[in-house]
Chains A and B, each alone.
Chain A
Amino acid sequence: AQSVTQLGSHVSVSEGALVLLRCNYSSSVPPYLFWYVQYPNQGLQLLLKYTSAATLVKGINGFEAEFKKSETSFHLTKPSAHMSDAAEYFCAVSRANAGGTSYGKLTFGQGTILTVHP
């Protein structure tokens, strides 16, 4: 079974400050990991993904995430927050089988709402 836990349902930062959104996963096999962003009244947009290549993954809008197997974590960071980063962020996990392909099941965390203050 696979699961995702996002620590903190709400995170508030000042504009220009570091953004850190935490995600821990549980998977019995090597996982694929994703961060999605959802702006108000919109669907989900893929920010970045980890698929067993480089452990530091760079995504869109200046975000990046680091896969740490020993900590089973995949935290999302951005050095300097912008007002336009205010949104809800979701971490998600899927799993690969022994052949390296993957299943259609993508499991999401509960989401973290990011607020950016001027």
Chain B
Amino acid sequence: EAQVTQNPRYLITVTGKKLTVTCSQNMNHEYMSWYRQDPGLGLRQIYYSMNVEVTDKGDVPEGYKVSRKEKRNFPLILESPSPNQTSLYFCASSLRTAGSQGYTFGSGTRLTVV
């Protein structure tokens, strides 16, 4: 089944403790992206990647890191999480023409930082 898989689905952590949220897609998509969803703000793009080793900042990149060493994987790294990063995170992927095809989204990761 074609899908985007995120792990974990739920995560509670403490301020300052480094964490990684994994994302993997099995559709051979070039484009991958991370979004965070907050009530009343919709989804805001954190980072996106156009292909292996090619990444760029979205609208809210501060406090996050990404890497794209393999086409199928696009992990999101929080080096020193803070409470304002408590949110629902979505990974998404698309064929090269991401803008015209739209993204396929994962099921989300609900992160709580205390």
Contacts and interface: CB of A to CB of B under 8 A. Distances in A.
Size class of the contact patch on chain A: 20 to 34
18 contacts: A6-B42, A9-B40, A32-B99, A42-B108, A43-B105, A44-B43, A44-B90, A44-B92, A44-B103, A45-B105, A49-B102, A51-B100, A101-B100, A104-B50, A105-B48, A105-B99, A110-B40, A111-B40
Interface string B80-114: 00000000001010101111111111111000000
Contact of A90 (B42, B56, B98, B100): B42
Contacts of A20: none
| Best-surrounded residue of A43, A102, A104 (most CB of chain B within 10 A) | A104
Contact of A46 (B41, B44, B45, B102): B102
Contacts, number: 79
Contacts of A102: 97-100
A106 B100 contact: no
Interface string B36-58: 00001111110011100000101
Size class of the contact patch on chain B: 20 to 34
A108 interface: yes
Nearest to B94: A104
A33 B114 CA distance: 37
Interface of B: 4, 31, 33, 35, 40-45, 48-50, 56, 58-59, 90, 92, 94, 96-108
A107 interface: yes
Given A43-B90, A43-B106, A43-B107, A106 B99 contact: yes
Contact of A111 (B4, B42, B92, B107): B42
B83 to A, nearest CB: 22
Contact of B98 (A42, A46, A106, A107): A106
A106 B102 contact: yes
